[in-house]
Amino acid sequence: MTMATELSKANATLKTEQWMRMYRRMVMIREFEEQVNELYTRALMPGLAHLYVGEEAVAVGICEALQPTDYITSTHRGHGHCVAKGASPDRMFAELLGKEAGYCRGKGGSMHIADPATGNLGANAIVGGSAGIATGAALSSKRLGTGRVAVCFFGEGALGQGVLYEVMNLAALWKLPVIYVCENNLYTEYTHYSETTAGDILARGTAFGVHAESVDGQDVRAVYAAAQRLVDLARKGEGPAFLVCATYRYSGHHVGDINREYYRSKQEEQEWKTKRDPIKNFTAWLIDQKLSDASTLGGMQSEVRAEMKAAVEFAIAAPYPTPEQAEEDVYA
Amino acid sequence: MPEVATRELTFAQAIREALAEEMRRDSRVCIFGEDVAEAGTPFKVLSGLVEEFGRERVMDTPISEAGFTGMGVGAAMTGLRPVVDIMFGDFLTLTMDQLVNQAAKVHYMSGGTWKVPMVLRTTLGATRRSAAQHSQSLHAWLSHVPGLKVVMPSTPYDAKGLLKTAIRDENPVVFFEDKMMYKQKGPVPEEEYTIPFGAADVKRKGEDITIVATSSMVQVALGAAELLEKIGVGAEVIDPRTTWPLDEKTLIESAKKTSRAIVVDEGYGRYGVTGEIASVIAEGAFYNLEAPVKRMGAMHVPIPFSPPLEDVTVPTEQTVFEAARTLCGKG
């Protein structure tokens, strides 16, 4: 089956409400990140945050193919994964502001959001740091027969970390239900990936006998179709997969990375934003297919924005943890 | 320790029995590491387990310490109770991110929502003629990290009871076994028992000097105590059994009673377990001390290969005896 026919077949079976849910999730991520940037510029957020704007189709396309009980591990650029897996924005904002109502009671912050209720094993601030955790979750799934799939999100920067290859080898040997999702957003912090990545990226998976493929990470339909297929195979016991998503990070490495011209041009950024924006292109497709219309989609966008603003207000008003809580949760 | 010991087991047998009993009790307990299945590890500690529990639960891994330790963390978070085997303590360097940044911090960073009930078994100890990369005692590094618990048994009895506690603990536990001790025998009762963490054990009572000793150094301290007895010095030998949690109270009370203390541990002396315990005693028993607390650890060198070189790098019965005698003003 060709990629195109497979895509249209998968698309045909999707209900409109599912497309709209995916659209809404993508808009949620974008609006969430807009608010994060706002909190940073208003000096209301302690520390920094790494924005996911531009990469929304990857998280949403992948998580749409997962069950609520499936596992994900996320990265320092993790807000999108958490939202896509079902985290609630108010508790996420509360965590970003270090409030007790946050997912981690204020102990984790932007880079460590974790939530057992949505299968989120945690965002990880060590690049490639969650590869072992995700693969271990897949081992549990296989040993306990739960049928759960684990998705390990990481950026192309993690391709430089040896532990990733150690666990890919193990996952292939033991046929574990884990999907390694590489978000190639072209920049390893402030360095173009071509300066840090030798050889062929997909070959890093195929060398271990891990099924490997690449997909346009700006096309949520393509990401979803690929994810659905790979998740299905993993769940059936066919073993791990490696999916490389070509995407782009609209903002800097973090919110404070404003002047970026020493590593990439404004023209390049502009081109991705205008020609390959995942939300714009998905909007156009939804309208073209008569699955929705501009006013409905615009209305949804306003609704999400208001929801995000309310979530921010909740977080701002929420109390800080008391100092004695610093010593809690060290041991279970 | 029970008054009537019914049988004797080696340290290795006690470890194996603890694992077997816990694996029978709880089907979530599994073992993985290098050569743990049919080989039963190079020290033969795990012999027979794969025959009873199968390769589903006793899994040979590639030589990928970071990878399979990381998998232990994820597996522990999601319902298994993994016992990860790191053949030599020296290889802990390869697992550091998984232990220190992942296992130790998952519970805290997630605001107490995820747990990591994982045990990592590994070895320590020199004098096996294995040179600098197979002889280190690196337990101080891990005792330094909040979120980890560190266990250092010194007898077959303690090894079994502490390992069972470790497997049932909801936190990541690093369990150090002295590789020179595997063949040492000791009484182990038939009946079920566990030993709580953070409870030091007085291995020998005495009135004149406290010798705090860990793991491989407990037998050394007991030997030194015999020599001290002959010159009329009563040494109390205390084994903390876990470096974290640490039973500060028992250590301090003993030092208060004897007024002199030596701390002996096979890790490096500098910035090590001996320094930490000595300061606990100095702070807690200061006004009762007749002499500064003495630290004795491994010489501050990479462990050398040649026997006459290696043998002088670790405390011995004789060096502990000499130090104690001096501290008691008898030398």
**Tokens 């639960």 -> residue:** B57
Q: Does B70 contact A144 at a Cβ distance shorter than 8 Å?
A: no
What pLDDT sits at residue A1? 46
Q: Which of A208, A211, A213 is nearest to A245 (CA)?
A: A213
Cα A186 to chain centroid, rounded: 16
Instruction: Determine the Cα–Cα distance for residues A202 and B167; give it in Å rounded to an integer.
Output: 39
Taking the Cβ of residue B26 and every Cβ of chain A, the question of whether any pair is shorter than 8 Å is answered with no
Q: Which residues of A touch B66 (CB under 8 A)?
A: 132, 162-163, 166
Task: Find out whether B110 and B75 touch, Cβ atoms under 8 Å.
Answer: no
Q: Which residues of B touch A135 (CB under 8 A)?
A: 67, 70-71, 74
Q: Which of A161, A188, A310 is nearest to A249 (CA)?
A: A188
Q: What is the DSSP string of B146-180?
A: TT-EEE---SHHHHHHHHHHHHH-SS-EEEEEEGG
**Tokens 């020599």 -> residue:** B227
CB proximity list for B168: less than 8 A, separation 6 or greater: B22, B194
Residue ranges of A 59-98 with Cβ closer than 8 A to chain B = 71, 73
Task: Find out whether B46 and B85 touch, Cβ atoms under 8 Å.
Answer: yes
Amino acid letter, residue B244: W
Q: Which fold has domain B201-326?
A: Rossmann fold (3.40.50)
Residue ranges of B 95-154 with Cβ closer than 8 A to chain A = 97-98, 101-102, 106-115, 117, 146-147, 149
Q: Which residues of A touch B75 (CB under 8 A)?
A: 136-137, 139-140, 143
- Residue B61, min C-alpha distance to chain A (Å): 8
Using a 10 angstrom Cβ sphere, with 0-12 exposed, 13-18 middle and 19 or more buried, the burial of residue A193 is middle
Helix, strand, or coil (residue B261):
strand
H or E stretch covering B235: strand B235-239
Segments of chain A with pLDDT less than 70: 1-13
| Long-range Cβ pairs for the range A318-323 (8 Å, 24+) | A318/A94, A318/A97, A318/A99, A318/A100, A318/A101, A318/A102, A319/A99, A319/A100, A319/A101, A320/A98, A320/A99, A320/A100, A320/A106, A321/A98, A321/A99, A321/A100, A321/A105, A321/A106, A321/A107
Question: In B255-274, which positions are buried (b, 16+ CB within 10 angstroms) versus exposed (e)?
Answer: bbebbbbbbbbbbbbeebbb
- Give the gyration radius of chain B's Cα atoms: 19
H or E stretch covering B95: helix B92-96
Task: Find out whether B247 and B240 touch, Cβ atoms under 8 Å.
Answer: yes
Residue ranges of B 33-72 with Cβ closer than 8 A to chain A = 56, 59, 61-62, 64, 66-72
Task: Find out whether A71 and A294 touch, Cβ atoms under 8 Å.
Answer: no
Task: Find out whether B46 and B52 touch, Cβ atoms under 8 Å.
Answer: no
Angle between helices A56-64 and A16-41 (to 10 degrees): 140
Instruction: Determine the Cα–Cα distance for residues B168 and B22; give it in Å rounded to an integer.
Output: 9
Q: Does A166 contact B62 at a Cβ distance shorter than 8 Å?
A: yes
Cα→Cα distances B244→A66, A198, B199, B312, Å: 40, 44, 10, 28
Residues linked to residue B298 through DSSP beta bridges, in sequence order: B268
Residue pairs spanning A and B at CB distance below 8 A: 154
Indicate the residue of B61, B62, B74 with minimum beta-carbon distance to A133. B74
Instruction: Determine the Cα–Cα distance for residues B194 and A138; give it in Å rounded to an integer.
Output: 31
Instruction: Determine the Cα–Cα distance for residues B239 and B218; give it in Å rounded to an integer.
Output: 7
Count CB neighbours of B200 within 10 A: 19
Q: Does A330 contact B108 at a Cβ distance shorter than 8 Å?
A: yes
Cα→Cα distances B31→B23, B36, B69, B74, Å: 9, 8, 11, 14
Mutant choice from A91, A148, A154, A170 vs B, greatest count of B C-beta within 10 A: A170
Task: Find out whether B233 and B326 touch, Cβ atoms under 8 Å.
Answer: no
Residue ranges of A 149-208 with Cβ closer than 8 A to chain B = 150, 162-163, 166-167, 169-170, 173-174
pLDDT digit string (tens) for chain B, length 331 residues: 555 657 999 999 999 999 999 999 999 999 999 999 999 999 999 999 999 999 999 999 999 999 999 999 999 999 999 999 999 999 999 999 999 999 999 999 999 999 999 999 999 999 999 999 999 999 999 999 999 999 999 999 999 999 999 999 999 999 999 999 999 999 999 999 999 999 999 999 999 999 999 999 999 999 999 999 999 999 999 999 999 999 999 999 999 999 999 999 999 999 999 999 999 999 999 999 999 999 999 999 999 999 999 999 999 999 999 999 999 998 7
- Residue A331, min C-alpha distance to chain B (Å): 6
As a dihedral over the C-alpha atoms of residue A290, residue A291, residue A296, residue A300, rounded to 10 degrees, the angle is: -150
Q: Which two tokens stand for residue A225?
A: 């179709």
- Residue B39, min C-alpha distance to chain A (Å): 19
Task: Find out whether B113 and A114 touch, Cβ atoms under 8 Å.
Answer: yes
Helix, strand, or coil (residue B93):
helix
Q: What are phi and psi of B28, to 5 degrees?
A: -80, -15
Q: Does A167 contact B67 at a Cβ distance shorter than 8 Å?
A: yes
Instruction: Determine the Cα–Cα distance for residues A131 and A128; give it in Å rounded to an integer.
Output: 6
Mutant choice from B23, B93, B109, B120 vs A, greatest count of A C-beta within 10 A: B109
Residue ranges of A 123-152 with Cβ closer than 8 A to chain B = 124, 126, 129-141, 143-144, 146, 148, 150
Query: Which domains does chain A show, CATH number per domain?
Result: 3-79+109-310 (3.40.50.970)
Question: Where does B9-187 sit in CATH, by number?
Answer: 3.40.50.970
Q: Which of A302, A297, A268, A300 is nearest to A284 (CA)?
A: A297
Checking DSSP bridges between strand A71-74 and strand A150-155, what pairing results, if any? Answer: parallel
Q: Which of B45, B26, B27 is nearest to B35 (CA)?
A: B45
Q: What are phi and psi of B31, to 5 degrees?
A: -120, 135
Count CB neighbours of B105 within 10 A: 24
What residue ranges do the domains of chain B occupy?
Answer: 9-187, 201-326
Q: Does B28 contact A107 at a Cβ distance shorter than 8 Å?
A: no
Q: What are phi and psi of A170, to 5 degrees?
A: -65, -40
Q: Does B66 contact A114 at a Cβ distance shorter than 8 Å?
A: no
Residues linked to residue B30 through DSSP beta bridges, in sequence order: B82
CB proximity list for A26: less than 8 A, separation 6 or greater: A56, A57, A60, A220, A278, A279, A282
A119: left (phi over 0), alpha (psi -120 to 50) or beta: left
Q: Which residues of A touch B23 (CB under 8 A)?
A: none
Instruction: Determine the Cα–Cα distance for residues B315 and B182; give it in Å rounded to an integer.
Output: 19
CB proximity list for B10: less than 8 A, separation 6 or greater: B156, B182, B183, B184, B185
**Residue B144 bears catalytic tag:** no
